[in-house]
Chains A and B, each alone.
Chain A
Amino acid sequence: MALWIVLAVLIILGIWLMTSYNGLVSLKNQALNGWKQIDVQLKRRHDLIPNLVETVKGAMKFEQTTLTQVIEARNRAIAAQGIAEKAAEENVLSGALRQLFALVENYPNLKSNENVSKLQEELVSTENRIGFARQFYNDIATKFNIAQQVFPTNIIVGMFGFKPAELFEVSDASERETPKVDLNLK
């Protein structure tokens, strides 16, 4: 009789271990996948920037510092390693781009240029995609972290070597506001 009880407890424990472990693995992979999505969008932005600079360079001779800032911010963002550093560098890049678009407003011939408005739409869209991908990743990563911290799963987390996922966070207060770029491309 006692043997059966021990056996039953062991089986229940085994099932619990299996489901908790599988749940954590699934969340971890979803988080990794979400992170990849951010990476894809960041790369898209990096690829668009040289085009943009090339297009506006001629008309914006007197804004050389801003243009250089954008290029430098881009190069630093590409070189960044790890989630926290990437988040910080991408932040700087967003700021530089915002400044550039604010300046474009001063150049009527640029504003009416079809190529510029196309690039502007693409960059705005990329910015949004980064934002939404970040939102999606952070939601999943938070779920993953909570799953690791709740009782009783927290007992086995160390056993299997799960680590909390880093959130892609925005440190700069200005970044929390929606960028105010005129988007009416009508």
Chain B
Amino acid sequence: MNIYEQALNNRKGTWIIVGIFILFFLFVGVGFDFYFGLGSQVPIFTIVAFLFGAISSYASFRYGDKFILSSTHAKELDLNDPKQKQWQNVVEEMSIAAGIPLPKSYIIADDDPNAFATGPDPKNSSIVVTKGLLDTLNRDELQAVASHEMSHIRNFDIRLMLVLAVLVGAVALVSDWARRGLFRGSDRRSSRREGGGSAALIILVIWLVTVILAPILAQIMAMFVSRKREYLADASGAELTRNPLALASALEKIDSQAEPTRSINQGTAHLCICDPKGRAIGMKEGWSADLFATHPPIKKRIEALKQMAYVS
């Protein structure tokens, strides 16, 4: 799959994901109305849940990147600092190579090396690095990291990831409300719908299980979507710099820093070049680690890059 097909898939994928999430919100709302509607004929919870889903989807698209930037305390670059000026130059070089508008650059004052890109589309994108990344990597390696992020921007990974990040949070919130509402309203339900039949009970159980499992499923989906994209971003990044080994050595250096990136929280994890939780996950292989990891094991990525340079 090339980068243009990937961009198309990502645009379609974003709509599919928004659709799935809105359906989920509707599902929660309908269940609420069915079991503890306020007695009126207006499906109030359904409407509220639908609006919540639609508004949070729109907001994630429109303001998600600003929210992420402020939650990670990202600051604009200081171009008088030689290292930051070099980073700005590297980003400009890669935007020329990728043929996309120049993304805005931000820095986080964190000593652990990491980087991510965000934004709704290539015209309104941002690239964020930690101070640790600039201190750890040399120019070629910085270029490799910039090219990786540039690929995420160019093929619209950033849009998909942005919407996903906010909606995963929204699902957790809604599911939490639904559960609490359920236990609080349970005594009313039993008095109102005495002997509703076993069918109603089964539906209730299915509804309940869905609501409880939804945040976990959403999380797994986010991880899955993100992991698949890392290899492609690595490969198309290397295609831009024509230097896969620089990215391999950048990943090695990032991996060798055991510290987790504290300023990047769980919701933003899948945006980063390397898992900010630290190397614990990156080292593990096997299905359970695969299921919950935001990134493929770093060793596999390095190996794939080395194969591109015929040195494996």
B284 at the binding interface (Cβ < 8 Å) = no
Minimum CB distance partner of B139 in chain A: A183
B85 at the binding interface (Cβ < 8 Å) = yes
In the assembled complex, how far is the CB of residue A66 from the closest CB belonging to chain B, in whole angstroms?
24
Given known contacts A122-B89, A183-B139, is B82 in contact with A117 (CB within 8 Å)? yes
A interface: dominant SS: helix
In the assembled complex, how far is the CB of residue A90 from the closest CB belonging to chain B, in whole angstroms?
16
| Complex-state Cα separation, A129 to B90, whole angstroms | 9
B97 at the binding interface (Cβ < 8 Å) = yes
A186 at the binding interface (Cβ < 8 Å) = yes
B121 at the binding interface (Cβ < 8 Å) = no
Given known contacts A183-B139, A184-B139, is B86 in contact with A121 (CB within 8 Å)? yes
In the assembled complex, how far is the CB of residue A62 from the closest CB belonging to chain B, in whole angstroms?
28
| Complex-state Cα separation, A96 to B236, whole angstroms | 33
Contacts of B97 in A (CB 8 A): 132-133, 135-136
The one of B93, B140, B240, B242 in contact with A129, judged by C-beta atoms closer than 8 angstroms, is B93
| Complex-state Cα separation, A114 to B89, whole angstroms | 17
- Interface pair B96/A133, CB less than 8 Å apart: yes
A41 at the binding interface (Cβ < 8 Å) = yes
In the assembled complex, how far is the CB of residue B253 from the closest CB belonging to chain A, in whole angstroms?
14
Give the contact-size bracket for chain A.
Answer: 20 to 34
Given known contacts A122-B89, A186-B83, is B96 in contact with A129 (CB within 8 Å)? yes
Contacts of A125 in B (CB 8 A): 86, 89-90, 92-93
- Interface pair B96/A118, CB less than 8 Å apart: no
Contacts of B138 in A (CB 8 A): 183-184
B99 at the binding interface (Cβ < 8 Å) = yes
Contacts of B89 in A (CB 8 A): 121-122, 125, 128
Given known contacts A132-B97, A183-B138, is B82 in contact with A118 (CB within 8 Å)? yes
Minimum CB distance partner of A37 in chain B: B96
- Interface pair B82/A136, CB less than 8 Å apart: no
In the assembled complex, how far is the CB of residue A46 from the closest CB belonging to chain B, in whole angstroms?
17
- Interface pair B82/A128, CB less than 8 Å apart: no
Contacts of A34 in B (CB 8 A): 99
- Interface pair A132/B85, CB less than 8 Å apart: no
| Complex-state Cα separation, A34 to B138, whole angstroms | 29
Contacts of B240 in A (CB 8 A): 132
Most buried by A among B96, B99, B242: B96
| Complex-state Cα separation, A179 to B85, whole angstroms | 21
Most buried by B among A34, A114, A132: A132
The one of A37, A133, A185 in contact with B86, judged by C-beta atoms closer than 8 angstroms, is A185
Contacts of B247 in A (CB 8 A): none
Interface residues of B in 17-66 (CB under 8 A from A): none
The one of A37, A41, A121, A136 in contact with B85, judged by C-beta atoms closer than 8 angstroms, is A121
Query: What sequence of 0s and 1s flags, for each residue 52-96 of chain A, a beta carbon within 8 Å of any chain B beta carbon?
Result: 000000000000000000000000000000000000000000000
Minimum CB distance partner of B240 in chain A: A132
- Interface pair B99/A128, CB less than 8 Å apart: no
Contacts of A183 in B (CB 8 A): 138-140
Interface residues of A in 32-47 (CB under 8 A from B): 34, 37, 41
| Complex-state Cα separation, A136 to B89, whole angstroms | 17
Contacts of B86 in A (CB 8 A): 121, 125, 185
Contact surface of A with B, Cβ cutoff 8 Å: 34, 37, 41, 114, 117-118, 121-122, 124-125, 128-129, 132-133, 135-136, 183-186
9 residue pairs bridging A and B, Cβ less than 8 Å apart: A121-B82, A125-B92, A129-B92, A132-B93, A132-B96, A136-B96, A183-B139, A183-B140, A186-B83
Top 9 nearest A-B pairs (CB, nearest first) are A132-B97, A125-B89, A183-B139, A128-B93, A132-B96, A133-B96, A136-B99, A129-B93, A129-B96
